[in-house]
Amino acid sequence: MRGTGEDVETRGRLLAAGARLFADHGYAHVTVRDICGAARANIAAVNYHFAGKAGLYNEVVQSAIHTMQNVTTEAMLAGEGKNAEERLRAYVDVFLTRIAAEDADGWIHNIMLRELSEPTDALDRVVEEVLRPRMAYLRSIMAELLGCHVDDTRVARCAFSVHAQCVATMNKPIAQRLNPAYAGPDAVRSMVDHITEFSLAGLWALARTT
């Protein structure tokens, strides 16, 4: 890290302000002036620290990618040595618990939503570095529960269904309006139980039809 302690502090404020603004408005609708104003920094600070808005956005996205990769790694470690049912529960538990802690203000979720509606070059990185490995792990669990090969078309569909249920809980304002119980102190634990039990029941029913 170059520069003084003050430089480091300014850089951190720029990253925090950029993450919040990009999440709220999308890359194309945020200016360097917006970011510097929110970060209480000189207008030249973004160029000095990140070589421009694109460089700052790349660092914000990389921070989101790092957090999401950690979630996947932690879920895999939590399921190590366990059967498929236990691995599924461990995955859902880690996903919901870590998101509740790491993305309390929803900036990572909102950045990803922005990438879906207004994609930048960063979307390919998210898919390759986060989603593809995460879905590969989920598919291995689905295949074991269904008793079929991982390339079976049902496996990918089931993995996507589990993933979609987890992601749906990340939009807290909507989740809490549709299900007021989600705002309670035991909300995360009850959702872990529900998503796991609901998914297992569907998988077992699907396995019996083949």
Domain boundaries, the chain: 1-51, 58-208
* pLDDT score, position 7: 85
Would you give the distance in Å from CA 49 to the centre of its chain? 26
Average pLDDT rounded to a whole number, residues 109-130: 91
Two structure tokens written together for 114: 């922005």
* Topology of the domain comprising 58-208: Tetracycline Repressor; domain 2 (1.10.357)
Give the CA angle between residues 68, 197, 151 to the nearest 5°. Answer: 60
The predicted model scores a pTM of 0.85
210 versus 111: the higher-pLDDT residue is 111
How far apart are the C-alpha atoms of 25 and 90, rounded to whole Å? Answer: 34
Tell me if 31 sits within 8 A of 8, measured CB to CB.
Answer: no
Residue 1 has pLDDT above 50, yes or no: no
Tell me if 167 sits within 8 A of 110, measured CB to CB.
Answer: no
Q: For 66-75, 91-100, 178-187, which range has the lowest pLDDT when averaged over its residues?
A: 178-187
Tell me if 17 sits within 8 A of 39, measured CB to CB.
Answer: yes
How far apart are the C-alpha atoms of 58 and 96, rounded to whole Å? Answer: 25
Two structure tokens written together for 63: 């921070």
Tell me if 20 sits within 8 A of 107, measured CB to CB.
Answer: yes
Other beta carbons less than 10 A from residue 95's beta carbon: 25
The DSSP letter of residue 51 is S
Other beta carbons less than 10 A from residue 45's beta carbon: 20
For the chain, the average pLDDT equals 90
Q: Do domains 1-51 and 58-208 have the same CATH topology?
A: no
What are the φ/ψ torsions at residue 151 (nearest 5 degrees)?
Answer: -85, -5
The DSSP letter of residue 148 is S
Which one of 1.10.10.60, 3.90.226.10, 3.30.160.150, 3.90.1150.10 gives the CATH number of domain 1-51? 1.10.10.60
Q: Containing H/E element for 108?
A: helix 107-117
